[in-house]
Amino acid sequence: MMSSKLTAEYVRSLIERGKRLDGRKLDEFREIKINYGVSEKAEGSAEVMIGNTRVVAGVKMDIGEPYPDMPNKGVLVTSAEFLAMAAPEFEPGLPGENAIELARVVDRGVRESGAIDLEKLCLVEGEKVWVVFLDIFVLNHDGNLIDAAGIAAIAALLNAKLPKITEDYEIVRDELTDPLPIKDIPIPITIRKYGEHLLLDTTALEEDVLTGKFTVTTKINGNICAMQLSDGMSMTKDEVLQAARMARDAATKIREKLFKDKLKELKKA
Amino acid sequence: MMSSKLTAEYVRSLIERGKRLDGRKLDEFREIKINYGVSEKAEGSAEVMIGNTRVVAGVKMDIGEPYPDMPNKGVLVTSAEFLAMAAPEFEPGLPGENAIELARVVDRGVRESGAIDLEKLCLVEGEKVWVVFLDIFVLNHDGNLIDAAGIAAIAALLNAKLPKITEDYEIVRDELTDPLPIKDIPIPITIRKYGEHLLLDTTALEEDVLTGKFTVTTKINGNICAMQLSDGMSMTKDEVLQAARMARDAATKIREKLFKDKLKELKKA
Amino acid sequence: MMSSKLTAEYVRSLIERGKRLDGRKLDEFREIKINYGVSEKAEGSAEVMIGNTRVVAGVKMDIGEPYPDMPNKGVLVTSAEFLAMAAPEFEPGLPGENAIELARVVDRGVRESGAIDLEKLCLVEGEKVWVVFLDIFVLNHDGNLIDAAGIAAIAALLNAKLPKITEDYEIVRDELTDPLPIKDIPIPITIRKYGEHLLLDTTALEEDVLTGKFTVTTKINGNICAMQLSDGMSMTKDEVLQAARMARDAATKIREKLFKDKLKELKKA
Amino acid sequence: MPKKKSEESKSNNKGAVRPDGRKVDELRPVKMEVGVIERANGSAYVEFGKTKVVAAVYGPEPMHPRHLADPEKAVLICRYNMLPFSVEDRKKPGPDRRSIEISKVIKDALSTIVALEEFPKCMISVDMVVLQADAGTRVAALTAASLALADAGIPMREMMSAVACGRANGKIVVDLTKEEEDAEDAVDVPVAMSSLTKKIALLQMDGDMTLEEFEEILNKAEEACSKIYDMQREALLNKYEKEGKEVNINDE
Amino acid sequence: MPKKKSEESKSNNKGAVRPDGRKVDELRPVKMEVGVIERANGSAYVEFGKTKVVAAVYGPEPMHPRHLADPEKAVLICRYNMLPFSVEDRKKPGPDRRSIEISKVIKDALSTIVALEEFPKCMISVDMVVLQADAGTRVAALTAASLALADAGIPMREMMSAVACGRANGKIVVDLTKEEEDAEDAVDVPVAMSSLTKKIALLQMDGDMTLEEFEEILNKAEEACSKIYDMQREALLNKYEKEGKEVNINDE
Amino acid sequence: MPKKKSEESKSNNKGAVRPDGRKVDELRPVKMEVGVIERANGSAYVEFGKTKVVAAVYGPEPMHPRHLADPEKAVLICRYNMLPFSVEDRKKPGPDRRSIEISKVIKDALSTIVALEEFPKCMISVDMVVLQADAGTRVAALTAASLALADAGIPMREMMSAVACGRANGKIVVDLTKEEEDAEDAVDVPVAMSSLTKKIALLQMDGDMTLEEFEEILNKAEEACSKIYDMQREALLNKYEKEGKEVNINDE
């Protein structure tokens, strides 16, 4: 989104006064909506909208071999693509470095938080395990893609059920059984910066004006399970710590709002 | 083939009077020649010339796994390439959309007509079947490539023999046994259009002047087994039906002329 | 290395008088240095410097299937890459034709000389054999890359040890056992030409001025085991034979200097 | 393969002509919405039963890379893609031979109605994404693409509507489901027809049929395309009414 | 997996705080050398323990392909690659998703200190090759890249030093080995810090830690980066002394 | 591997020096035809026994992509390819490392005789396709390419003829078959020689031979190339006679 120099200056001057074009506070999110089950062919799927940003994530399950060094664990494979339709600046073709980064940051959040109970996905130790394919697609880009993708990812995983398998470990695709075992709800929150001001949930227009981003993924217990500073931003140690706290607090709010029931269930257990 | 505007207009004005540059009638084919066995290393091969158009097709047989949903059938894999040598406008590299389309149209004709008795190519149900690799190469492009490719394909299949296999299902490449079991002779016929005039067997020069094509593949019994309208041509329902009849009739003639013996044998059975 | 026309002429005029920019004779090599074991993670590795040319080669061993026509022999897989860092004219990306040629010439030298006793790398005939991955990287290009790569390759092979394997043919990576069985020391020597003058061990600057190269790889017994004439040079029969003799003699010297101990051991056996 | 509960009960539905209870010339429930991708110049969402497709249009904009520009007309670029989780067995992301062919025939069909000659040296891009696939994805995609082009205000001589007709379980039917496509005797004929001149611009076929059956299929397809066209008009009008914009359907 | 002899004996080393006998805030033996690739405009070799990296810089030179040039500043291109034999299991040559991500974050970090605005329409390329990997390859590569840029005389506002800190076996430690990274409770936090303004420009994380632990890790990383910076200065001075050149470190 | 009947009977042929009955310096039956690909500027078909190759030439034409043009001479592009069904085990279509190397050495060889300097900024493309392979495909391809270039009227200082010589079953022989190439003691030396100055422009080797054997091989190759050159001349004359064109072989 190529903003004019004038717009850019206006956006920046607003931020300096703690304000934003759409009237939000600097640390305020746009409305987040989730549609579960957008593809019945997926074992689980969810569409997440943050404002006009629109991301869809789907889960397909297959049976495969475990990694040699984790013979008793299922395998998670995460991919992401910025569809050419999502913004005029997106090119068709293989995922570029931004889509790869997004997929890997989301993947680390899910993986390191232990969100999926991978040990329960082992069928025959060292031989047969469930492989969870988590595919993320950006349909419309209006900023804050990592957060939208991360929320879509965990929503799709929460929506996912294991297909039935026969005694010979053949998958019966259209008979779903138990839900995918989920143990945590990692939420990535991305912070951007202008001067000393930290912003959450930036729009595409704001991202065009600001440089760099810092993503912090936190677990239910407030622990950090993934971080990524990139796109040419540098921060002081104090800014980093402040941002991490902001991220934890914003994640807590989003978790309460969007995943209330699962949160209760997990806190009880 | 970049024809001058003058040539283009002349070709068009001829067609309007039901004539063509090379003196043929609108629905008349050029001479078709077949050389069988152009590669002895292939299990079957044929070179087809329609006028100056020159296409070679070859069959290689391998042993592989069947598709899970067709455990008792052999597998057909068709590819096509427009060699860079075949025309100045052809670029080297991976097959483009035109070559892919040609391969898929020829493949559908062979597949849907049941030309190959795929059930006879099953060795061990669900485990081992013959895989038929049908590879098509355009050596010189003077128009009507799909028809030439389709005729080369069925000719190569008719020329093919199964290699001997050992008890352990190892292939003995240079000992050929029975012919590949063939049950039909699908012939694709491509129609082009100028105004209300329908043409068969266009040359590269004619194709440069006309837009779009419609291919209809028919079986021995006259049934249609594949169709493809493309390249930016639209037709009325009546034109489509007329074209389908033309294609059926032309295919019948070609079959009689080129595959007389096999045709008799199949009609008897 | 884009040399000015003036430099080029000067280099040529020197050669005509049997001289070179750096004071060497036409058939004189620069100093050759070898560092063994540059990567402890490799089963064998070596860095070779000829003057400022710097090449690193590494050996990784895996267990795989033999080629069907050589069921009782291990497999050698050689690759080479001209790293973008090695010269301003090198582009990043897949190996180009020059890197592929280098890899294949080095590979043929190793293979045809019988340097690796591939029969000793058979674990279960027709099923499990050692696969030797020989990967070569050019770190800095100051000419004579094939010779440097060939010396690095045989040095890395001489440095290599087989990892331990369990009874189930699982590799225990960090326990090395016997040395890789080596039976010969092939050395490729590349000759370049100006007029009737033949040069050995050319620098990047000299190669920029001269056209074409002829590589002859010889074994300990002086036999030729690989040759490659390329890059647009043609030679009379006599020149070719003279070059082959030069290559044999230069290889003998290099072998004596760099691989003295192994040479003794092999000559004894 | 065992059927899902819902489908089993439907196929027990006595008197029903087709596995899902439809009549031979009955379309599946259709849903259309225009303007679903904000960043695009035009976009549309189309559901044919369980088949769900999104299409979005960018352009006209200067062609890049420039050496591929056509000095006489805009280059139309169509990309049809299935999401990995839109089908039973995960599809590897990215184009394959099937999607390249489908993209081509959709492009060929649309190029007969889009006024490309008005934009020399430009490109117009149409991206189509299948979210969920239950047969008929190419015709749903083409129907959505046509809507998205209209939504983007790209001048078109007429609209285009598409549907797959064919034979299943002994009957000539419109808008086949995957279950019908898998019938022993299935014939699948995707057809696209323009709204005013009723010209066929996409026509493919899989199966084995007589010329007589083909004629019947074409007749049914024509009828079905008319119905779909009515729904396309309505979807466009809906959007323009919401937005208070003037309607801009070139063929009216 | 069985350990090598040398490591076994080390881990028997009584009183040792870490498997290799280091204290929690002790770096592995570091070796740095500038000017190792003659053809490049600048280059450096860095060893952090058994991790060995070479970096080389070309440019500034006119951007090619030209249409990717930025009219306002130089384009910084970073390529991080592992040699196939730098790791236990042979790595297929060429970039993969991991190396693309690492190349990106290294580029993003360096772009905060390199004066790219001085060279519009140009490119500056940084190639990093891992010869041997024992954890911390991206921070060693970034440290080497920063040296190579200085060696190439590319104007930089300050230097950049990088190290991985984290948790292993219950302790917050600096410069983790592969063995420590494989600990049950391992947390890995690669950090890059600029030499003058002490700004963090690369920060990633794998694992599970509290905010308090994170603060402790950052403090240890700051200290370690200072030590690495001193070694970088020394390596540059060494080369310039040898060559009798004037020193050209922009932040002094 | 069991032999085909025809070959078995031949190898029973008493007194025969080689498996197929040829003498050591006897070529396989050679067939050459010029002008087989109508759309190309020049083309040729060559058979060496069961090895069958087609070559076609386009150009000189302006180099594209333009940034790869050489301001001082034409760029020569050679592409050698085997059809999937030209060999026993199906070869995947498209270039592989072997075909890239062969394309390169053929290009390198031809560039010593083609007057590239007459066409700055242009390209000349030579496509070679192996229809059936029974050893010696690269030398057959180069022989065909040389014919096709002459047929296209590309100025050449001399013609080029190529053959593989070597050792099989204890004898130095010319024009090896696949069966001979597979002999225990096989040495394969593809050689290309120019027609006038008798310069060697392609020379490769697989196997293990003494310098003395090499000299004998080169002598046999020279003789064989002369014979092949005579056949090339004849093939060109045949075509020009048919067409009534003037003969245009630069080295006469």
Q: Is residue C206 part of a domain?
A: yes
- Cα B20 to chain centroid distance, Å, stands at 24
Q: Is residue B153 part of a domain?
A: yes
**More confidently predicted of E174 and E1:** E174
Name the minimum distance, in Å, from the CA of F208 to any CA of chain C.
5
The complex's ipTM works out to: 0.94
Structure tokens at F153: 């009227």
Instruction: Assign residue E25 a region (left: φ > 0; alpha: ψ between -120 and 50; beta: otherwise).
Output: alpha
Structure tokens at D60: 């006209």
Q: Which parts of D13-136 fold into alpha helices (H)?
A: 97-110
- Of all residues in chain B, the one with the smallest CA distance to D197 is B236
pLDDT digits (tens, 9 = 90+) for A180-197: 999 999 999 999 999 999
CATH number of residue B241's parent domain: 3.30.230.70
Phi, psi of C176 (to 5 degrees): -95, 150
Residue with tokens 């004019």: A4
pLDDT digits (tens, 9 = 90+) for A84-129: 999 999 999 999 999 999 999 999 999 999 999 999 999 999 999 9
Separation of first and last alpha carbons in chain B = 45
Q: Is residue E35 part of a domain?
A: yes
At E16, is the pLDDT very low, low, confident or very high (cuts 50, 70, 90)? Answer: low
Q: What's the mean per-residue pLDDT of chain F?
A: 92
Domain count within chain B: 1
- CA-to-CA distance for C108 and C114, rounded, in angstroms? 10
Structure tokens at E24: 């929690």
Report the candidate in D126, D134, D128, D138 with the shortest Cα–Cα distance to residue D190. Answer: D138
Residues across chain D: 252
Report the candidate in D154, D142, D123 with the shortest Cα–Cα distance to residue D53. Answer: D142
Domain count within chain E: 1
Give the per-residue pLDDT at B4: 80
Among F40, F85, F132, the residue with its CB nearest the CB of B85 is F40
- Which amino acid would we find at residue E97? R
Q: Average the pLDDT over E20-36 and give the result.
A: 97
pLDDT digits (tens, 9 = 90+) for B180-189: 999 999 999 9
In chain D, residues with a C-beta closer than 8 Å to the C-beta of B230 are 104-105, 108
At D3, is the pLDDT very low, low, confident or very high (cuts 50, 70, 90)? Answer: very low
Contacts of D163 (CB under 8 A, 6+ apart): D27, D48, D136, D139, D143, D174, D175, D190, D191, D221, D224, D225, D228
Give the per-residue pLDDT at E5: 35
| Optimal mutation site among E107, E200, E212, interface A, most CBs of chain A within 10 A | E200
Give the per-residue pLDDT at D244: 62
Contacts of A116 (CB under 8 A, 6+ apart): A74, A76, A110, A132, A157, A180, A181, A182, A183
Structure tokens at B210: 């006309």
Q: Taking CB atoms and an 8 Å limit, are B139 and F37 in contact across chains?
A: yes
Contacts of C115 (CB under 8 A, 6+ apart): C109, C154, C157, C182, C183, C184, C185, C186
Q: Taking CB atoms and an 8 Å limit, are C86 and E3 in contact across chains?
A: no
Q: Is residue C1 part of a domain?
A: no
In chain B, residues with a C-beta closer than 8 Å to the C-beta of F43 are 85
In B113-259, the DSSP E strands lie at 122-124, 128-140, 161-165, 171-179, 187-194, 197-200, 213-218, 224-230
pLDDT digits (tens, 9 = 90+) for A36-86: 999 999 999 999 999 999 999 999 999 999 998 899 999 999 999 999 999
Whether residue B138 has pLDDT greater than 60: yes
In chain C, residues with a C-beta closer than 8 Å to the C-beta of E131 are 38-39, 56
Give the per-residue pLDDT at B173: 87
In chain C, residues with a C-beta closer than 8 Å to the C-beta of E4 are 174-175
Q: Average the pLDDT over C215-227 and give the result.
A: 98
Among B85, B86, B137, the residue with its CB nearest the CB of F83 is B137
Q: Is residue E179 part of a domain?
A: yes
Q: Taking CB atoms and an 8 Å limit, are A112 and E207 in contact across chains?
A: yes
In chain E, residues with a C-beta closer than 8 Å to the C-beta of C58 are 83-86
Residues in a beta bridge with B215: B190, B228
Q: Is residue A10 part of a domain?
A: no
In chain E, residues with a C-beta closer than 8 Å to the C-beta of A219 are 208
Q: Average the pLDDT over F125-136 and give the result.
A: 98
Give the per-residue pLDDT at E181: 96
Q: Is residue A14 part of a domain?
A: no
Strand pairing class (E75-82; E51-62): unpaired
Name the minimum distance, in Å, from the CA of C196 to any CA of chain F.
13
Q: Is residue C5 part of a domain?
A: no
- Report how many Cβ contacts below 8 Å link chain B to chain D: 95
Whether residue E14 has pLDDT greater than 70: no
Q: pTM above the 0.90 mark?
A: yes
Give the per-residue pLDDT at F14: 47
At E244, is the pLDDT very low, low, confident or very high (cuts 50, 70, 90)? Answer: low
pLDDT digits (tens, 9 = 90+) for E99-124: 999 999 999 999 999 999 999 999 99
Among B45, B83, B84, the residue with its CB nearest the CB of F85 is B45
Q: Taking CB atoms and an 8 Å limit, are E94 and C94 in contact across chains?
A: yes
Contact D151, D43 (CB under 8 A): yes
Residues in a beta bridge with E53: E46, E130
Contact C230, F105 (CB under 8 A): yes
Q: Taking CB atoms and an 8 Å limit, are A97 and E206 in contact across chains?
A: no
CATH number of residue F96's parent domain: 3.30.230.70
Report the candidate in A106, A111, A102, A108 with the shortest Cα–Cα distance to residue A141. Answer: A102
pLDDT digits (tens, 9 = 90+) for A215-244: 999 999 999 999 999 999 999 999 999 999
pLDDT digits (tens, 9 = 90+) for C42-52: 999 999 999 99
Give the per-residue pLDDT at C238: 97
Whether residue C2 has pLDDT greater than 70: no
Give the per-residue pLDDT at A3: 62
Give the per-residue pLDDT at F9: 40
Residue A180: DSSP 8-state: P
pLDDT digits (tens, 9 = 90+) for D184-204: 999 999 999 999 999 999 999
Domain boundaries, position B51: 24-268
Give the per-residue pLDDT at D83: 98
Whether residue B27 has pLDDT greater than 60: yes
Give the per-residue pLDDT at F245: 55
Contact F121, F192 (CB under 8 A): no
Give the per-residue pLDDT at C246: 98
The two counts, helices (H) then strands (E), for chain A are 6, 12
Name the minimum distance, in Å, from the CA of C137 to any CA of chain E.
8
Structure tokens at B71: 């455990």
Contact E143, E202 (CB under 8 A): no
Q: Is residue E115 part of a domain?
A: yes
Structure tokens at E215: 């603060």
Count CB atoms within 10 A of the CB of residue B51: 21
Helix axes D211-243, D137-151, angle to 10 degrees: 40
In chain F, residues with a C-beta closer than 8 Å to the C-beta of C245 are 211
Domain boundaries, position F184: 29-241
Give the per-residue pLDDT at A74: 98
Contact D144, D54 (CB under 8 A): yes
Q: Taking CB atoms and an 8 Å limit, are A222 and E210 in contact across chains?
A: yes
Give the per-residue pLDDT at D12: 43
What radius of gyration do chain A's Cα atoms show? 19
Q: Is residue B9 part of a domain?
A: no
Contact B76, B132 (CB under 8 A): yes
